[in-house]
Chain A
Amino acid sequence: MERISLKEVNKSYQNKQVLKELTFDIQGSFGLLGPNGAGKTTLMRILTTLVRADSGEITMNDELSWNNQHVVRSYIGYLPQHFSLYKNVTVAECLLHLAVLKGLNKLEAKEEIDHLLQEVNLQEHKKKKIKQLSGGMLRRVGIAQALLGNPRLLIVDEPTVGLDIEERVRFRNLLRKLGVNRTILISTHIVEDVEMTCDYIGILKQGEIIFTGKKEELKALVAGKIKEELLTMDEADAIQDQVISIKQQDEKCLVRYFVEKEEPQANVSPTIEDAYLYLTRRGE
């Protein structure tokens, strides 16, 4: 599987530094988390060669440099956040157009399209025009097009935004499956997406990478720092800066929160969300 290495990558827009000295590796199924405005989209656009970094170096397996954009493009499959295609053209026609542009011959393309449509469960909709598809179907077409030509790096931006619960689950399963044999980068602000589909995680905050590592490593950061207990609303308000979640239970609330010091009795098993909130709130 491919390893993408970023080294001191910087990017500014109108004197505002959006990405600061990013240095980390992307490998396996990698989830990029971060609050809105953290710089995720900018980083994705740099990785997909849509924009260039101001400085720094990006390489694939220490060999292929991102300076060579035209070559890099042949290794990338990309599903943008707001994906759509030509409204009056059918799914099969659109995919064929994309496949041929990616360098497949017509016969190969048709076979691959059939295979991918089966994989994304859209085989029976292939003659539908794009304008006739639901949001979920369109995202699946997006994944199918990104997979055309079997790219070594699959980049998916906010994959489940706007999807209903059922489609979201289906989509996550699909991403999970796709990440088995290739490097896949998923950018999202929905922690659940990453939890369900990724082995590696990176957290971006205000243009800086504040964590990269395995899921377990992230969770380990908050082990022993989370407590869950029934509190009144007034008690919960008193520690609101530490609260992770509140669930109403009769007259009291089951409050999940960070403890200031590690406590042996804080034996609640941590989640990615806990760790994410812990890291992103730190220093605020």
Chain B
Amino acid sequence: MRFINCYTFYFKILIRTWIIPILFLGIFVFGLYTFLLGKGLNDPTLVLIANPIILALMACYLFVGIYVTKIDEKDEIYETFSIIKNAMLYKTLAKWLLIFSSIVIFAVLFFAFYLYIFFTPDFNNKTYFLSVFKYICLYWALPSFIMFLLGNLLSIWIGGKFVYLIALIIYSITIPMNYAIFRTEGNIPSKFRIDKILSLGEPNVTRIYNSLYGFSLDLIYWNKMILVVSLLAMLFLVTWKKREVISKNQLQISFLPVLLIFVATTVYALQPFQSLTDDDGKTIRYYRQHKIKEEGSLESPVYFKKYDIELRTKSNLDALVKIQAVNVANKNIKQVTVGLFHELHVEQIKMDDKEVKFKQKNDSLTLYFEDNAWQPNDKRVLEFTYKGLQSNLYFGNAQAVYLPNYMSWLPTEDSRPAFDIVTKYHYLHRVPHQPSKKKIYHLKVDGTNKLFTNLPRGGDGNWQGISSDGVSLFSGQLSSKVDDGVEYVYPNTWESQFKYTDTIQRYLSDVAQTMKTTLKDGTLKIPRTIYFVPNQNIADGISYEGTWWNDNYIIWGFNQRDYPAEPFFTVDYLGDFTPQLVFAKTKHLPKQDDFTFNILFANAYGRALNSTLKLPNDGTDVFIDTILESLGDKSLGNNLDALEMNQQFNTWLRNKESLNPKSPVYKKWNSLIQHPTSQKWNTLYDLLKQENSK
């Protein structure tokens, strides 16, 4: 009764001030306007992140927080009410509930309008819209409520107009755009970013929506909000006790649970976690700073036969991997080096249940067996415990999993680095790490809702089977559908692109068939599953890095910025994909790959394929020129001049025969990729020269 009375009383007070209803109405109308703008741009993901509405809401609720406290803090009112038993407590809690309910109404209204504007027959994935609601709650509603509480507390502590100055300072450092105040800007990398710690809103305000990862809705961000609220609650309780609003007993009863929540959320916040960041340059910086190209080897004295993988994908990737391995060298092994992506920090390695010493350096891991040398043909069980992942390129947490077969997220015999920096343009190139032999896999995953993998399902959270090119895991904002026996897995915001899949299927079939016949490639299969993944970021440089053609499936990579507002899979665009698919096929070899050699082939041959399939070749010639310009004498090997090579290429590209995928040049070139020799550039030069002279 008292509570309801206070609630309705403050509602009347707020509604009768002209400024507050006008403020809220203004914010609401402006919010709708931003939604309609997003509708015009045909991008529903655009209107949530960095929407100025959140700044307005935070400012408005901060002001309301100050106002509703100030009216009660006037001596003449405070004295009247503070001597009524528990009056101030009821009044304060009623104000909180009133404001909280107004925030809930705002959140629901904004979400309802979002649905009304963007929910269409072509764009209607429920998981996506649920994440939108969560986003509005987490980054619009909760920061608004926290600002209200802050306003409340400030005006209890600070009298007069000085409170507005302090409030302005607090507002400036807690809004999502606070990096402008701290001058940390959008993309400056740092382990300790004060702007990120203090920001109450979207943590990655300078980045666009990631169609695989979704919005930044990780538990750590909810935890942060609870932490801040519990901190404020403790400050309120102490303040109330000091002002005799609550008794010592009431303080004791209420303070302990709040303190426990505060401690628990603080401890959780200090745990390692992976989340999407706006620092897309992290990986390329690492490989520019660490000259690890010469380290590691493709050859290994051991063979990994069977993997038992237990993954926990919660706040971060936790892995326990048991590998049945055999010494295939003809000598005792006292140490062996295996590959593992450097972000995965190894905690323990055991061999036949006995701990072994190891050294982790960059993307390799050296195991020392010391007195327990590994005999030839001897089978051992290696057990690796590791955790980690921080990049924006690979994920392994509750929100998204992207652990493709080509990346060394499992210990591999191939200890080369996971990435390489190639050409004079410093492209970030993903070095293929998928195994080339059949291996047995047993996979157990805990923490991810829906997981897609190339392994056959073995039960709840279990997958097992044999694969000749490793294991790929996908999870996140993904949908799937099966058409004509082909499974399409794609971001749930791209539904409209996959309404009709016959164009994609026909295109892939044509490309695969033509490649198979013209290159005489017996390994090439038409995939049964296609994963469309926004797996590249701005650091990748070129759009060829994300696409991988495996035995039974294709990982069709896109840039994270490639939101398909327009249809992707039409004749106009498909031509762009052809060189990528050809390049993807070159990554399937258990050989040291030569990026420039392969990418030139992919473009020249892809150009010919497009011509045959009557697809446009926009951009291919320009890209070939760019790559040719990067050719240096050093990269071509002995006795070959880059300028001459360049001339032969250009002459070849002007030759009509270059548009014929059946040309023996491509067959031979492909053969050089599959069976590289130290003279491959010379051979190619001679081949082109010979064809050009015809």
The answer to the question of B80 belonging to the interface, with a C-beta cut-off of 8 Å to chain A, is yes
Docked Cα-Cα span, A84 to B77, in Å, equals 6
Q: Quick one: which of B1-53 are within 8 Å of A by CB?
A: 1-2, 5-6, 9, 12-13, 16-17
Pair B12/A93 contact, Cβ less than 8 Å: yes
Partner-binding segment picked from B85-93, B260-268, B581-589 = B85-93
* Min CB gap B384→A, angstroms: 62
A96 within 8 A of B: yes
Q: How far is the CA of A142 from the CA of B85 in the complex (A)?
A: 18
Chain B residues within 8 Å of A103, by CB = 2, 85
Nearest CB in chain B: distance from A70 CB, A: 6
Chain B residue with Cβ nearest A52 = B244
Residue among B9, B12, B17, B75 with max Cβ neighbours from chain A (10 Å): B9
A82 at the interface (CB under 8 A from B): yes
Residues of chain B with a CB closer than 8 A to A132's CB: none
**A78 interface residue, CB < 8 Å from B?**
yes
Please, which residues of chain B bring their CB within 8 A of the CB of A89?
Answer: 9, 12-13, 16
Q: Is chain B's interface secondary structure helix, strand, loop, or mixed overall?
A: helix
Cβ of A31 under 8 Å from chain B: no
Q: Name the contact of B83 in the complex, choosing from A50, A83, A84, A105 (C-beta under 8 A).
A: A50
- Known contacts A52-B244, A100-B2, A101-B5; 7 additional CB pairs below 8 A are A71-B85, A78-B80, A84-B76, A84-B77, A86-B71, A88-B13, A98-B81
Asked if B80 and A83 make an inter-chain contact with CB atoms under 8 angstroms apart, the answer reads yes
Residues of A within 8 A of B (CB): 48-50, 52, 69-71, 73-74, 76, 78, 80, 82-86, 88-89, 93, 96-98, 100-103, 105-106, 142, 145
A85 to B244 alpha-carbon distance, docked (Å): 21
Which A-B residue pairs are the 6 nearest by beta carbons? A100-B5, A88-B16, A84-B76, A80-B79, A73-B85, A101-B87
- Cβ contact within 8 Å between B5 and A88: no
- Nearest-CB residue, chain B, relative to A106: B1
User: Beyond A49-B244, A70-B247, A89-B13, is A101–B79 a contact (Cβ under 8 Å)?
Assistant: no
Given A80-B76, A84-B74, is A100 in contact with B1 using a C-beta cutoff of 8 Å?
Answer: yes
B82 interface residue per 8 A CB criterion: yes
Check A50/B82 contact, CB under 8 A, given A86-B13, A89-B13, A97-B5. yes
B622 near A: Cβ within 8 Å?
no
Question: Does B165 have its Cβ within 8 Å of any Cβ on chain A?
Answer: no
How far is A212 from B342 in the complex, measured between Cα atoms in Å? 86
Residues of B within 8 A of A (CB): 1-2, 5-6, 9, 12-13, 16-17, 71, 74-77, 79-87, 90-91, 244, 247
Cα–Cα distance between A48 and B83 once the two chains are bound (Å): 7
Asked whether, in the complex, the Cβ of B2 is within 8 Å of the Cβ of A73, the reply is: no
Closest to A44 in B: B79
Shortest Cβ distance from B73 into chain A, in angstroms? 13
> Which residues of chain B have C-beta atoms less than 8 A from A71's C-beta?
85
Q: Are A101 and B90 in contact (CB under 8 A)?
A: yes
Contact among A86, A88, A96, A102 with B77 in the assembled complex (CB-CB below 8 Å) = A86
CA distance A80 to B5 in the complex (A): 23
Are B16 and A93 in contact (CB-based, < 8 A)? no
- Closest A-chain residue to B91, C-beta based? A101
Cβ contact within 8 Å between A78 and B9:
no
Instruction: Give the complex CA separation of A80 and B79 in angstroms.
Output: 7
CA distance A49 to B81 in the complex (A): 12
- Cα A49 to Cα B85 with chains together (Å): 11
Which chain B residue lies CB-closest to A83?
B76
Q: How far is the CA of A97 from the CA of B5 in the complex (A)?
A: 6
Q: How far is the CA of A281 from the CA of B253 in the complex (A)?
A: 53
Question: Residues of A contacting B83 with CB < 8 Å?
Answer: 48-50, 73, 76, 78
| Nearest CB of B to A197, in Å | 21
Residue of A nearest to B88 (CB): A101
A85 close to B80 (CB less than 8 A): yes
B9, B12, B83, B86 pick with most chain A CB within 10 angstroms: B83
Distance of A78 Cα from B87 Cα, bound (Å): 14
Pairwise interchain contact A85-B6, C-beta atoms closer than 8 A: no
Chain A, residue nearest B247 (CB): A70
Would A73 and B5 count as touching, CB distance under 8 A?
A: no
How far does the Cβ of B63 sit from chain A's closest Cβ, in whole Å? 17
Known contacts: A97-B9, A100-B2, A101-B6. The answer to whether A50 contacts B79 by CB under 8 A is yes
Cβ–Cβ < 8 Å partners of B86 in chain A: 70, 101
Tell me the minimal C-beta distance from A30 to chain B in angstroms: 18
Residues of the A chain whose Cβ atoms lie less than 8 Å from the Cβ of B84: 73, 98, 101-102
Chain A hits for B6, CB < 8 A: 97, 101
Distance in angstroms from B75 CB to nearest chain A CB is: 6
A49, B87: Cα distance in complex, Å: 14
A49 and B9 alpha carbons, distance in the complex (Å)? 25
CA distance A97 to B11 in the complex (A): 12
26 CB < 8 A contacts A-B:
A50-B82, A52-B244, A69-B247, A70-B85, A71-B85, A73-B84, A74-B85, A78-B79, A78-B80, A80-B75, A80-B76, A80-B80, A82-B76, A85-B80, A88-B12, A88-B16, A89-B16, A93-B12, A97-B6, A98-B80, A98-B81, A101-B91, A102-B84, A102-B85, A106-B5, A142-B80
Query: Chain B residues near A49 (CB, 8 Å)?
Result: 83, 244
Among B17, B76, B85, B90, contact of A88 (Cβ-Cβ < 8 Å): B17
Residue of B nearest to A94 (CB): B9
Partner of B244, one of A69, A96, A101: A69
A85, B77: Cβ atoms under 8 Å? yes
Q: How far is the CB of B17 from chain A (nearest CB, A)?
A: 7
CA of A132 to CA of B345, assembled, Å:
72
Measured in the bound complex, the distance between the Cα atoms of B71 and A85 in whole Å is 9
CA distance A220 to B615 in the complex (A): 119
Task: Tell me which residues across on chain A come within 8 A of B80, comparing CB atoms.
Answer: 78, 80, 83, 85, 98, 142, 145
Complex-state Cα separation, A83 to B79, whole angstroms = 9
Q: For the complex, what is the distance from the CA of A76 to the CA of B81, rounded to whole Å?
A: 12
Residues of B within 8 A of A97 (CB): 5-6, 9
Contacts of A78 in B (CB 8 A): 79-80, 83
Q: How far is the CA of A209 from the CA of B71 in the complex (A)?
A: 36
List the A side residues contacting B71 at CB < 8 Å.
86
Query: Chain A's nearest CB lies how many Å from the CB of B226?
Result: 30
Interface residue from B17, B75, B81, B90 paired with A82 (Cβ < 8 Å): B75
B538 to chain A, nearest CB (A): 54
